[in-house]
Structure 1
Amino acid sequence: MGRTRNVKLAAAIAQAGLSQSRLAARVRSVAAEHGANELTGVGQSHIAKWVGGVVPEPQAARILAETLSRCLGRLVTLADIGLTADTDELELPAWSDDPLTTLVTLGSKDMVDIDRRHLLATSAYSVAALALPDDQWFERAADRARARKPLSSYVVTAQDVDDVREMTAIFSRRDQKRGGRAGRAALVAYLRTDVAELLSGRFLSEDIRRAMTAAAAELAYLAGWTAFDGREHPLAQRWLTIATGLAEEVGDAPLAGHILRALAHQAVDLGQPMEAVRLAEASLSSRRYARACWRERSLLGVVHARGLAAAGDKKAAAAALLRAEQDLGRASDGDDEPKRVFFYTEASLAHETAAALRDLGDLKGAETQFKRSVRTRRAQFVRTHSVTLGYLGAVQAQQGHLDSACETWSQALDAMTGVQSGRARESIVQMRRALSPFRNRADSQAAELDARARSMLSQA
């Protein structure tokens, strides 16, 4: 059975007014910009095969889409050139990809529920994809961004930047109050349409270009974080990869470190401690750590400690926790802090410290720190508060303090009402698992709590 001609790709090439050999030359040029040396040998025969129905390798497909975007002066996705029907993996971004192109491509996949379920079923959290490019790749990111030609005639202003930041703050507050699954569709829709269009426009100044790209990076980070909280880990990993690339394009080393820290946090939660340590160490690299404010340094450091604890390096983890405590202690109201870290407070440090101590087997210390987190957390952070209570109940149960655990878990269920969070749901599942030996005791506190937890899971 012969291959089906890719009419969408052929039409895009015709619209660009390019011969196959000229398109091949431009593909080679874009590939060289991205350091994709294996594609610098692309010739007319490759283009002919792709038009004839041969599906290119994922990286080649993405470079082809970016090349046609530049030629046509508009954003061209893989779907636009007929490269999504047979393999979803083509739409998954890699470090070498253009962040703007992959933002729209992944956003389109994330937007449609049925497609997102298919993506999650056919792809997985990838340890291999965590391998970071070398430092030179990151250093060249700004040059690549400056070389990108505008894809629309819209002139981006400082007010546009403020609008994106305002929307990011709104989505962030909703995430903190209701969980990562609440409002994600609206967040991704705004990111892949309005924000992508702004990134594709013309900028009044270099300062505005940098500010808009940084704002887009923070919103892409939030898309990744909400996916992480929703336990949609393949999507989270890919959004965070895009966000890191955008941050590096404007040389915002602290923001890039902040996002790499999130990837490290995810790796810890998914049982990849050595990858978590490596990512955390990258977030703590001299240029990222030295330019960060004290509060952010503490956040980077405590996640590093969690990775070390999960890896079983007790001494290094303890030292990292101490440094994180000291860094937070140096923070003051007069510091010039980015808005993204306003939420990192004593409660946040205590929560992460507790998780590290728990992984080290110090359950009593973990209980103390989880209680400290509960005691000091601000009221608006409902989702994190509910998760902390769930974790606190778990360490109390592990120590044999069932009555205390049940009381804590009851508070956790109260706090989780209305919260749409995969992490909160997972803590309920773990709660029921811990209660399983006691659920058949009629009229017991454990049995009542288990029934309530079961009801909440059925409603989620």
Structure 2
Amino acid sequence: MGDKQPNEKLTSWFTRSGWSKGELARQVNRRARQIGAHHVSTDTSRVRRWLDGEQPREPIPKIMSELFSERFGSVVSVEDLGLRAATPVSTVGGGVDLPWSGEQTVQLISEYSRSDLMLNRRGFLGTSLALTAGAALIEPMQRWLTPGPSGAPTPILSAVNGSEPFTGRLSEPELQLLEQTTVMFRQWDAQNGGGLRRKAVVGQLHEVTDLLQESYPELTTKRLFRLTAELAHLAGWMSYDVGMHPSAQKYYVLALHAAKEAGDRPFGALILTDMARQMIHLNRGEDALELIHLAQYGSRDTATPRQQALLYAMEARSYATIGEINRCARAARLAEDTFSDCRPGDGDPDWLKFFSEAELNAENAHSYRDLAYTSSRSPLYASMAAPVMERAVDLFRQDGDHIRSYAFNLVGMASVHLLQNEPEQAAVMCEQAVDIATKVRSERLNTRVRKTSEAASRQFQDVPGVARLRERVVQDIPEFVASV
């Protein structure tokens, strides 16, 4: 113990966070209770010993990684904090580098969804995994494009070509009902946020993987894999929406595996698009760009104009995150030009219909807004963002079906007003978002509201509207709870 050195990495992150030792201790204790680790009891003297070089026991390193990641809006690993990482706790295979085979995909999704339903009652699952980023994420995802194994069919597809008798208990009307239920889940998510129906989606996903244990004709098997991919993707999206980032990533990866088994390149591209969106949220623009380019390459022969426009818009978002001004502007223009080619008869699937004119304006407006953050020419890009963001807000207001998206763009408009030194207007917009945030269950929205309110308070604390906004946020936006 005598040669123990101060933990300079942890000290640096701690200092930048603005937390006191007591506040960090309280947050660690609160998160520990949420995941069922009731034995954890931290105080200021313990935090001081960590800063002095003492290594805390699990699950504290993982908890601190999550807390600092949320604080800074990007991945802060256990190693970044100068702490020792324990062996990951997972009974269903850690990480994202998983076998690309139908039988193993079904097994992994079944086991992971079952674990989610059982363990997450104590909030454990979302913190028992670690986010994967960089090459460790991108390289396994590139295998999405490789051809499947040739030769004899795998057991999960053994009914193809009549190699084994048909044993499936699923009728065509039942399969159609499952597909309709997935559409309904998407609608609920858009209206109410990811927290309200996440467990129901995970339960439905687990039931569908049970059906895939049986033998069906080839087309039915592919439809079941496509349904599995859509449900796993939706479980990932809802997990992301409520702040469970490692679980979200795991579901996305599993969804991509299922999409490959279904032979559905366009839906695989959508999954990669939302994985990129998560990386943008975590301020990992380079990873987001790699994922988007992989999605573009993989769907180059199959994407409709609407999906191509979505991919261009998210490419622009990725470039904006890393400050690539010219490439961002080019991708945003391509998104607009390609979207103008959309026609009602393009045959877009239900899962793509969310990408409307409102969404196009929202994505491009956020790209311009983000350029204002990353560029020295902030006033120019704020002025570019303002009319596009205003158009998105108006379209979402008229739409009425995508309540959460409307709220996100109200917050986006508030952030643009702050960039233009218009604090009262910013407070009005953000308060409208608070009204919606109290009615939906979206930690992602709550986090965006809190950050915008904090930014307004730092810059314009003496403005009455800003003070009123801050009071409302403290009173009405609940603390994050991981067990959803």
Q: Would the aligned equivalents of 2:417 and 2:425 in 1 still touch at CA under 8 Å?
A: yes
For residues 331 and 142 of structure 1, what CA distance do their matches in structure 2 show?
Answer: 36
Q: Which amino acid aligns with 1:210?
A: K
Judging changes above 3 Å, is the alpha-carbon distance between structure 1 residues 224 and 144 closer, same or farther for their aligned structure 2 residues? farther
Tell me, yes or no, if structure 1 residue 445 matches structure 2 residue 457. no
SS at match of 2:299: helix
Query: Residue 293 of structure 2 aligns with which residue?
Result: 281
* 1:212-248 C-alpha deviation (Å, 9 max, x unpaired): 2112111111111111111211011110001111111
Query: Residue 77 of structure 1 aligns with which residue?
Result: none
Tell me, yes or no, if structure 1 residue 103 matches structure 2 residue 122. no
Q: Would the aligned equivalents of 2:142 and 2:294 in 1 still touch at CA under 8 Å?
A: no
For residues 448 and 251 of structure 2, what CA distance do their matches in structure 1 show?
Answer: 24
For residues 172 and 289 of structure 2, what CA distance do their matches in structure 1 show?
Answer: 38
Q: Would the aligned equivalents of 2:434 and 2:477 in 1 still touch at CA under 8 Å?
A: no
Q: Which amino acid aligns with 2:434?
A: L
TM-aligned CA deviation for residue 382 of structure 1: 0.5
Gaps of 5+ in 2: 1-86, 159-165, 373-380
Q: Which amino acid aligns with 2:209?
A: A
* 1:34-56 C-alpha deviation (Å, 9 max, x unpaired): xxxxxxxxxxxxxxxxxxxxxxx
Judging changes above 3 Å, is the alpha-carbon distance between structure 1 residues 403 and 333 closer, same or farther for their aligned structure 2 residues? same
For residues 199 and 324 of structure 2, what CA distance do their matches in structure 1 show?
Answer: 40
Q: Which amino acid aligns with 1:124?
A: A
Q: RMSD over aligned Cα, in angstroms?
A: 2.6
Tell me, yes or no, if structure 1 residue 213 matches structure 2 residue 225. yes
Query: Residue 208 of structure 2 aligns with which residue?
Result: 195
For residues 251 and 218 of structure 2, what CA distance do their matches in structure 1 show?
Answer: 25
TM-aligned CA deviation for residue 134 of structure 1: 7.7
SS at match of 1:284: helix
Query: Residue 21 of structure 1 aligns with which residue?
Result: none
Judging changes above 3 Å, is the alpha-carbon distance between structure 1 residues 147 and 380 closer, same or farther for their aligned structure 2 residues? same
* 1:387-436 C-alpha deviation (Å, 9 max, x unpaired): 11112112211221011111111221222231100111112211331232
Deviates more, 1:103-112 or 1:143-152: 143-152
Aligned counterpart in structure 1 of residue 308 of structure 2, from 297, 322, 330: 297
TM-aligned CA deviation for residue 169 of structure 1: 1.1
Judging changes above 3 Å, is the alpha-carbon distance between structure 1 residues 352 and 423 closer, same or farther for their aligned structure 2 residues? same
Query: Residue 330 of structure 1 aligns with which residue?
Result: 341
Q: Would the aligned equivalents of 2:144 and 2:256 in 1 still touch at CA under 8 Å?
A: no
SS at match of 2:139: coil
Query: Residue 168 of structure 1 aligns with which residue?
Result: 182
Aligned counterpart in structure 1 of residue 237 of structure 2, from 215, 222, 225: 225
* 1:353-398 C-alpha deviation (Å, 9 max, x unpaired): 1111112111222222211111112101001111111121122112
User: Higher RCO, 1 or 2 (CA under 8 Å, sep at least 6)?
Assistant: 2
Query: Residue 401 of structure 1 aligns with which residue?
Result: 422
TM-aligned CA deviation for residue 146 of structure 1: 4.4
Aligned counterpart in structure 1 of residue 89 of structure 2, from 87, 90, 97: 87
- Sequence identity of aligned pairs in percent? 25
Query: Residue 346 of structure 1 aligns with which residue?
Result: 357
TM-aligned CA deviation for residue 114 of structure 1: 4.5
For residues 137 and 230 of structure 2, what CA distance do their matches in structure 1 show?
Answer: 20
For residues 413 and 145 of structure 1, what CA distance do their matches in structure 2 show?
Answer: 56
Aligned counterpart in structure 2 of residue 432 of structure 1, from 448, 453, 457: 453
Q: Which amino acid aligns with 2:202?
A: V
Correspondence 1:14-29 to 2 at 5 A = none
For residues 301 and 116 of structure 1, what CA distance do their matches in structure 2 show?
Answer: 40
* 1:117-150 C-alpha deviation (Å, 9 max, x unpaired): 3333343211154123486664333759941337
* 1:265-300 C-alpha deviation (Å, 9 max, x unpaired): 111111111111110000000x41321111111111
Deviates more, 1:121-130 or 1:233-242: 121-130
For residues 327 and 296 of structure 1, what CA distance do their matches in structure 2 show?
Answer: 9
Aligned counterpart in structure 2 of residue 365 of structure 1, from 357, 364, 384: 384
Q: Would the aligned equivalents of 1:161 and 1:215 in 2 still touch at CA under 8 Å?
A: no
Query: Residue 70 of structure 2 aligns with which residue?
Result: none
Q: Would the aligned equivalents of 1:164 and 1:216 in 2 still touch at CA under 8 Å?
A: no
Judging changes above 3 Å, is the alpha-carbon distance between structure 1 residues 424 and 384 closer, same or farther for their aligned structure 2 residues? same
Q: Which amino acid aligns with 2:244?
A: E
* 1:46-89 C-alpha deviation (Å, 9 max, x unpaired): xxxxxxxxxxxxxxxxxxxxxxxxxxxxxxxxxxxxxxx99326
For residues 415 and 121 of structure 1, what CA distance do their matches in structure 2 show?
Answer: 28
Query: Residue 237 of structure 1 aligns with which residue?
Result: 249
For residues 458 and 190 of structure 1, what CA distance do their matches in structure 2 show?
Answer: 28
For residues 324 and 459 of structure 2, what CA distance do their matches in structure 1 show?
Answer: 35
Tell me, yes or no, if structure 1 residue 159 matches structure 2 residue 173. yes
* 1:147-175 C-alpha deviation (Å, 9 max, x unpaired): 13379943333333312211111111111
Q: Would the aligned equivalents of 1:142 and 1:250 in 2 still touch at CA under 8 Å?
A: no
The number of residues matched between the two structures is: 372
Query: Residue 62 of structure 2 aligns with which residue?
Result: none
For residues 288 and 86 of structure 1, what CA distance do their matches in structure 2 show?
Answer: 34
* 1:318-359 C-alpha deviation (Å, 9 max, x unpaired): 111111111111001111111111111011011111111112
TM-aligned CA deviation for residue 308 of structure 1: 1.4
Judging changes above 3 Å, is the alpha-carbon distance between structure 1 residues 319 and 437 closer, same or farther for their aligned structure 2 residues? closer
Tell me, yes or no, if structure 1 residue 376 matches structure 2 residue 395. yes
Q: What TM-score, normalized by structure 1, do the two folds share?
A: 0.75
Judging changes above 3 Å, is the alpha-carbon distance between structure 1 residues 337 and 159 closer, same or farther for their aligned structure 2 residues? same
Judging changes above 3 Å, is the alpha-carbon distance between structure 1 residues 172 and 129 closer, same or farther for their aligned structure 2 residues? farther
Q: Which amino acid aligns with 2:322?
A: A
